[in-house]
Structure formats: C-alpha cells, structure tokens
Amino acid sequence: MFQKKNNLGEIETIVGPSVNLKGNLKSEGNIKLKGKVSGEVKTKGDVFVDEEAEVKALISARSIKVAGTVTGDLVAQEQVEITNTGKVTGNISSQSLIVQAGALFIGKSTMEEIHTKGKIEDESIEPEPEIE
Amino acid sequence: MYYYIVNPAAGGGRINKIQDKLKSLLKEKKIDGELVKSIGKNDAYKIAKLAVKRGFTNIVAVGGNSTVSEVVNALIDAPNSVLGIIPIGTNNTLAKVLGISDWEKGVYILAQRRIRTIDLGKVNDSFFITSLEIGFETEILKDRQNISPLKKLTFKKDVLAKIFSFKPFEATIKFDGKFSIDSKIFNFSVFNTRFLKNKEEFFLNDGKLTSLLVPHQATLSLLKNFSKIASFSYETLPFISCFRAKNIHIDTGKIPQRVFADAEYVGTTPVEVSVSSKKLKVIVSKDRKFD
C-alpha cells in the first residue's frame, strides 16, 4: 500500500491543495487528501492524508496514513499509520497501528486481530494523551 | 444504407480536394450512399435528424469536432442508429479517441463495421463523448474554431500570452449531491474517461465521469508547468484535484464562465453535468483508446 507513484497512479480521488471540501466523500478506490476536508471520508481503498491537509472528518478505509492534521475518528480494516508530521485527535480502530516518533495522537486506539478460526476479543488501549 | 453528412468548411474546405477519391473509395468498399453537404451551424444536426426520419441507420459525419458533435446530438433518440466518422476537420479529437486517425482509415473502419456502445456525458440539454471544459482551456478553444496553419505555428506563444491574461474564477462544485468543493479555479474539466497511472485511460462505458480541477496558481508555477498546460495534460500536474461522480453541478456565482463540450461552445455556467442514461452506438477502430 501507499507506494510512491506519480499524481494519479492508482489514486481515484485527490482533494488538492487550496480546495475546501464539505460533505460525504465516498469512493471505491484510493483517496489522497491535500486540502481542507470536513464531513466524512469513506472508501474501500486506502486514504492518505498529506502533510498540508486539514481534515475534520470520520475516515473509514482499508488503510489510513496520516502525515497531516486529522480531527475525527479513523476506522481502518487493516492499518493506521501516523507519520512524524501527522496529528490525530480522535479514536482509532484498526488491526494494526504505527505511530512514528514525532507524531501527535490524542484519543483511544482499539486494535482488532482476525485469526483464521475467527475474531479474537478486542484489545483496547486506554487513552493516551499524547505521543510525541 | 449509409448516409454521409459532409461539412464543406471543415479543415479549410478539405472535402474539395478529396471528394472524388472519397467517393470512389466508398464505392470500392461497397459502403457508398447518400452524400449531403451542410451549410451552416446546426445544419448537420438537422440533416441527421431528417436522415433518421427517412430510415437511415448508418449516419456518417464527414468533418471535424463540431460536425461530429452535431450528429451525436441528433442521434440521441435514435437507438437503432450507428454513428460513423470520417475525419477531415482541423480538430478531430473524437475521431482520435475512436482510433480513426485520417479520412482514408475512416473509410476502411466504416467498412469493417466494428460497433461499440458508449456512455455519453450530458451538459444541460447537450451531449458529449469525450470532455467538457470550463476556464483556461475555453480561452484556447474559442480561438481554435477556425485555426489557420499560421496560427498553429504560433500556438504555444498564444498559450503563453493567455496564461498571463487569464483571470481565475471562484466556483462551488457539487458531486452527486453528496459533497461539494469551493476553490479558485484555473481550469476545470469533466472527462467521460478516467485516469490511471498518469495517463488517460478511456472507459467510455463505466457509468461515471472524472473531474480534474486545476486550482489558481502563481504565474511562476504555471510557467514551470507550461509544457503540460500547453498540451492540456492536466492529469500530470502536481497540484490537481480529481473526483469521480455521476452528477456534477458547477456554479461560478455572479461571473458566468464559458462551457465547451467536445471542443464546442455549449453555454455558460451554472451547468449540470451528468452521465446520460442514453447511449450511442459508434463504429470504431481496433486501435481505439478504450475497450
């Protein structure tokens, strides 16, 4: 996931810089957010929140990578990654979570692991005020 | 039976030079039929409508973008009709998408009768096959309607001059009634296609439109990307936005903007753009740019 490609490589939706989006953005493919977004972002693909992006939205996707600022919950079927420039204020639900040194995360993280014999019980982590 | 609608003004009167050759080639390929010349704007539309009424099902536009666009709009309510194209215009964008590179190839492709059904974009009451433009590109298109060979040579210089003089505009664009964007815009395009891996892939039957928004940029940034802008390869620009939707409402507030569809002027904003429920049968080449 998130391989570095030129502009539109494998990305179906791009909210570019200097664009202000409001409402429910629903997609089948990958989404890249570089501008301001408020509302809800939902896709079967991956979401990448770029360094310059300011997002106030619930994001649901296969995997989510945050390098910008997100205020809202993140729900990923697979992985959530917050890079060293990323700031997340909200709850995270995912199978795995990566928080890089320098990232900011204020909220609760719930991690689910799916085994071949079925789901195991949710493993919850108590709210962590800040990870930097 | 084939019905040929010829625009005698297309390509600077090109038909006069190829007429005899064209007729004999059509005869040789056993696809000759009635040949009618249009006189002015919208004439090709009226002639095509009459041809359908008279029972013709193979309607061939012999001209450029404007002739094809008029015939496309005339065939919307004729589901048994098939569109053919023999490109002789200055701009033959639609023919190129269908894989028809020149008029002679057009005749061979007609004779092969490889028919595909494609989606059509709809803007207000007009229909389009490839794309719709608002903003900078319309400045170029409005001057390209009667482009002379000399003008072609100065094309890049003209584009450069227009980069300096073009005034960006504010717009609110709604997609499928679900989300909206506000932006100061340099150019906004709606394609009946999609973009993958940095190149245009033509999916003329996937039921969605692709919007590409080029926001207002500092002149220096536009100049840095001049070659991409001059070739209208917006999808390669680093600052674009891209959305896929079935319905798009474009409002530019108090300052209406010109709208071109398939390189033809169709009106001003506000406009409603959508994928039409009506489809079109077209004769295509095996070298077409879509499946």
Query: Are A18 and B216 a contacting pair, CB within 8 Å?
Result: yes
Rounded mean pLDDT, B103-117: 93
Rounded mean pLDDT, B71-91: 92
Task: Check residue A122 and give its pLDDT.
Answer: 46
ipTM higher than 0.90? no
Using CA atoms, how far apart are residues B191 and B163, in angstroms rounded to an integer?
A: 22
Rounded mean pLDDT, B225-253: 89
Q: What does pTM read for this prediction? A: 0.82
pLDDT, averaged across chain B: 88
List the single best residue of A5, A11, A13, A56 to mutate versus B (max B Cβ within 10 A): A13
| Cβ density class A94-132: b for 16+ within 10 Å, e for less | beebebeeebbbebebeebeeeeeeeeeeeeeeeeeeee
Confidence grade of residue B130 (pLDDT, cut at 50, 70, 90): confident
Residue B158 CA to its chain's centroid (Å) = 21
Nearest beta carbon to residue B241 from set A6, A14, A24: A14
Distance from the Cα of A72 to chain B's closest Cα (Å) equals: 18
Cis peptide, bond prior to residue B270, ω within 30 of zero:
yes
Rounded mean pLDDT, B38-58: 95
Q: How far apart are the first and last CA of chain A?
A: 25
Task: Check residue B153 and give its pLDDT.
Answer: 64
Q: Give me B42's structure tokens.
A: 């919208």
Rounded mean pLDDT, B12-41: 93
Residues 6 or more apart from B271 whose CB is under 8 A from it?
A: B123, B124, B134, B249, B250, B259
Task: Check residue A4 and give its pLDDT.
Answer: 36
List the single best residue of B169, B172, B179, B184 to mutate versus A (max A Cβ within 10 A): B179
Using CA atoms, how far apart are residues B86 and B127, in angstroms rounded to an integer?
A: 20
Using CA atoms, how far apart are residues A28 and A33, in angstroms rounded to an integer?
A: 15
More confident residue, B154 or B213: B213
Using CA atoms, how far apart are residues A61 and B261, in angstroms rounded to an integer?
A: 35
Give the three-class secondary structure for A102: coil
Nearest beta carbon to residue B183 from set A14, A18, A27: A18
Rounded mean pLDDT, B171-188: 96
Residue A129 has pLDDT above 80, yes or no: no
CA distances from residue B44 to B60, B62, B72, B75, B144 in whole angstroms, order as listed: 10, 10, 10, 11, 20
Rounded mean pLDDT, A47-66: 97
Task: Check residue B119 and give its pLDDT.
Answer: 85
Q: Which residue is it, tokens 């001209």?
A: B63
B238–A7 CB contact, under 8 Å: yes
Residue A74 has pLDDT above 50, yes or no: yes
Looking at beta carbons, which pairs linking B269-274 to residues 24 or more positions away fall under 8 Å? B269/B134, B269/B171, B271/B123, B271/B124, B271/B134, B272/B123, B272/B124, B272/B247, B272/B248, B273/B121, B273/B122, B273/B123, B273/B132, B273/B190, B273/B209, B273/B247, B273/B248, B273/B249, B274/B121, B274/B122, B274/B209, B274/B246, B274/B247, B274/B248
Task: Check residue B190 and give its pLDDT.
Answer: 93
B59-63, B118-122, B233-237: the lowest-pLDDT one: B233-237
B127-131, B147-151, B205-209: the lowest-pLDDT one: B147-151
A43 vs B: CB within 8 A: no
Residue B202 has pLDDT above 60, yes or no: no
Q: Give me B232's structure tokens.
A: 């209208």
Percent of chain B exceeding pLDDT 70 equals 90
Size of interface A-B (CB pairs under 8 A): 75
